[in-house]
């Protein structure tokens, strides 16, 4: 039930945003496809940054464990914050790349 | 007529962009499947296996997540402890073994005593941080007492690795996974899938390190 409700809410606001954008903000319908493609690019970057953070974090923790003999939990990298930070990294990188073109 | 050579600007390689888009699409699909379908729940049930709730020499409650700074057990640690206490209450074993960090075992023991488990029936495993470490400590503590047949209390997703490590340490393991159906809301399902991926990574690490 909660899944359906969430999807319905997002569908409604997306439809509202589409109508407002095309009727009042002067955005072109033809550009929507390109925007979706760029969003997918950005999401791809999120995945790349997330995997990199996960791999580097795990290697770092295991390396520190081996070097220092102290226990550091690998569950540190199993934190939702890492996904949010990866999103932030990807957004900055994506915008940086767009401005450099 | 002058002929000018035509100069071409270098054509940008579009392959990385296409790859990123595909990766983004894959990530989006994975997100949708993880959040809005029962995939995580199915995996949870599958990893739990069948519970074998029979008479044993000891009930072993493995550590998970420890206690917060205020000494309160984390959700998972609390679930495991309550389940172990319930099994003790059902008379399935004469001993309740509580494992985990020092804070965790202290909080767990206080809770167990508060819920009627006699202090003489509670054994605490010295502070350890890994499943492998717990197995070594449990072996040192329980096998000399003749407690070989154990009811192992762990989360469903942790059961395959925990069971294999305990069996390798010389125990006969009766799995007693905590509730196996898992959550029903999208956010918790995402969290569960993240934990499953993390646990699978741990399982692979144990395999590579020769601990399984």
Digit-coded pLDDT (tens) for A29-45: 999 999 999 999 999 99
Q: How far is B186 from chain A (nearest CA, A)?
A: 6
Q: Could you tell me if A89 lies within 8 Å of chain B, comparing CB atoms?
A: no
pLDDT band at B12 (very low <50, low <70, confident <90, very high): low
Which residues from B are below 8 Å from A46, CB to CB? 24, 27
Q: State CA B172 to chain mean position distance.
A: 20
Q: How far is A15 from chain B (nearest CA, A)?
A: 19
- Convert A7-75 into a string of H (helix), E (strand) and C (coil): HHHHHHHHHHHHHHHHHCCCCCCCHHHHHHHHHHHHHHHHHHHHHHHHHHHHHHHHHHHHHHCCCCCHH
pLDDT band at B11 (very low <50, low <70, confident <90, very high): low
CB atoms within 10 A of CB B62: 26
pLDDT value at B72 more than 90: no
Choose the mutation target among B13, B24, B102, B136 for the interface with A, i.e. most A CBs under 10 Å: B24
H or E, element range at B207: helix B186-208
Confidence (pLDDT) at B68: 77
Low-confidence residues of chain A: pLDDT under 50: none
Q: Could you tell me if B204 lies within 8 Å of chain A, comparing CB atoms?
A: no
pLDDT value at B123 more than 60: yes
Select from B55, B64, B125, B52 the least CA-distant residue to B90: B55
ipTM for the whole predicted complex goes beyond 0.90: no
Provide the whole-model pTM. Answer: 0.81
Confidence (pLDDT) at B13: 65
Rounded mean pLDDT of chain B?
89
Half-sphere exposure of B90 (CA within 13 A, CB side): 14
- Chains A, B: CB pairs < 8 Å: 57
B149-208 pLDDT, tens per residue? 999 999 999 999 999 999 999 999 999 999 777 788 999 999 999 889 888 988 888 888
Q: How far is B159 from chain A (nearest CA, A)?
A: 17
Spell out the residues 6+ positions from residue B193 whose beta carbon is closer than 8 angstroms to its own: B34, B39, B40, B43
């Amino acid at each position: 039930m909660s899944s359906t409700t969430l999807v319905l809410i997002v569908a409604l606001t997306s439809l509202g945003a589409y109508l407002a954008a095309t009727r009042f903000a002067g955005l072109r319908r033809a550009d929507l496809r390109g925007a979706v493609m760029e969003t997918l690019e950005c999401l791809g970057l999120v995945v790349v940054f997330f995997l990199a953070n996960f791999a580097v974090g795990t290697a770092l923790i295991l390396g520190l464990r081996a070097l220092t003999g102290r226990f550091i939990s690998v569950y540190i990298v199993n934190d939702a914050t890492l996904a949010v930070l990866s999103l932030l990294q990807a957004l900055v990188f994506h915008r940086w790349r767009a401005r450099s073109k | 007529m002058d002929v000018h050579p035509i100069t071409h600007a270098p054509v940008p390689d579009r392959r990385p962009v296409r790859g990123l888009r595909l990766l983004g699409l894959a990530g989006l699909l994975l997100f949708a499947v993880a959040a809005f379908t029962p995939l995580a729940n199915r995996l949870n049930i599958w990893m739990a296996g069948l519970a074998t709730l029979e008479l044993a020499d000891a009930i072993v409650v493995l550590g998970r997540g420890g206690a917060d700074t205020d000494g309160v057990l984390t959700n998972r640690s609390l679930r495991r402890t309550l389940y172990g206490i319930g099994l003790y209450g059902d008379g399935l074993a004469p001993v309740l073994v509580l494992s985990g960090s020092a804070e965790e075992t202290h909080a767990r023991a206080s809770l167990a005593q508060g819920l009627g488990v006699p202090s003489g029936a509670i054994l605490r495993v010295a502070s350890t941080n890994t499943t492998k470490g717990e197995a070594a400590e449990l072996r040192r503590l329980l096998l000399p007492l003749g407690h070989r047949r154990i009811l192992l209390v762990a989360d469903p997703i942790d059961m395959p690795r925990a069971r294999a490590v305990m069996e390798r340490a010389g125990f006969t393991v009766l799995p007693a996974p905590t509730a196996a159906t898992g959550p029903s809301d999208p956010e918790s399902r995402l969290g569960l899938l993240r934990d499953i991926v993390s646990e699978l990574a741990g399982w692979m690490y144990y395999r590579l390190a020769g601990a399984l």
